Structure 1
Amino acid sequence: MKLEDLKPQINTIISDGTLAVDQKLYNICKILEENISYYDWVGFYFKNGDKNELKLGPYVGEPTDHVIIPFGKGICGQVALSNQNFVVPDVTLQENYIACSITVKAEIVIPIFKNGENIGQIDIDSKTIDPFTESDEQFLEFVCEKVSQIL
């Protein structure tokens, strides 16, 4: 399935007034993981109150021990500080990487902004080396923009 083909489904989830925010976020994770073959773990991390750390939100995939991630640690922690997309084609070549599973080969993290502030991110792990393209980045930026509207 093409990434563009998922946009209407994302819009439908976002605009569904019957769902709680966490259910919407979970449904987005589920749609991405089920429809994009190389998205093997899809989840959201959000700034944990006033602390300089991220807290795991809804996700789909193997359970993770990384429920809290300090700013600066791992790919997610680096995005919390840099406010920029981070694409890792091969996690074995990344020094500041937190291994969630030995099967993970690549990762992409896109920040979520609300009123100009980085409040969280979408994090995607892949069991495929170097699967993410500019199209993934653009699509996930769209997803994050939509998500920011319900937070």
Structure 2
Amino acid sequence: MFQVENYNKSKEENYSLVIKQLAALLEDEPNRVANLSNASALLNQFLDRINWVGFYCLDSENELVLGPFQGLPACVRIPLGKGVCGTSAQTRKTIRVADVHAFPGHIACDAASRSEIVVPIIKDGELLGVLDIDSPELERFDEVDEKMLEEFVAVLTKYI
């Protein structure tokens, strides 16, 4: 049975713990939707000062579609190259945005969001989608978040 741990160590150590929890949570489950759902719930429980966490999955060659998430209802479809999610998917690079209102072409699904981080999900060279996390605070995400969320996605990718 999965158990929530107390995250009372350094930021890196807390992320390492949540990554271990992710692997234990997904270990014996082959279903992609179930695993993305539990991954979004785990991050929502772990991360503070966020208002949305979830996944957009590649639906066609040029469009992402909303996947499992935690938060308010969200935009359903995002073209590749549009907004932070579409740009991250198209470039296959993590994008950390300190102020979403300063990002050209930002798609505002929740007006309360002020900063965002998006990590592409790539397996065997194929883009599967992106992990998207929003915060109502400016500059919520730093280099540690970026590095550790990329590690989180790397572990998640083994199970989807």
Partner of 2:44: 33
Question: How far 1:129 moved relative to its partner?
Answer: 0.8
d(CA) in 1 for partners of 2:41 and 2:128?
21
The answer to whether the 8 Å contact 2:118/2:132 transfers is yes
Out of 50, 75, 87, the position equivalent to 2:96 is 87
Question: How far 1:95 moved relative to its partner?
Answer: 1.6
Stretches of structure 1 that go unaligned for 5 or more consecutive residues are none
Instruction: Report sequence identity in percent.
Output: 35
The answer to whether the 8 Å contact 1:32/1:39 transfers is no
1:15 paired to 2:27 = yes
d(CA) in 2 for partners of 1:109 and 1:42?
10
Pairwise CA RMSD of aligned residues? 1.4
Stretches of structure 2 that go unaligned for 5 or more consecutive residues are 1-6, 8-13
Partner of 2:113: 104
The answer to whether the 8 Å contact 2:22/2:156 transfers is no
1:99-138 mapped onto 2 (5 Å cutoff)? 99-138=108-147
Amino acid at match of 2:113: V
Deviation string 1:69-92 (CA, Å, 9 cap, x unpaired) is 111110011112111110001111
The answer to whether the 8 Å contact 2:23/2:156 transfers is no
Question: How far 1:133 moved relative to its partner?
Answer: 1.2
d(CA) in 2 for partners of 1:45 and 1:25?
10
- The 3-state SS of whatever aligns with 1:146 is helix
Q: Please give the TM-score of this superposition, normalised by the length of structure 1.
A: 0.91
d(CA) in 2 for partners of 1:48 and 1:147?
19
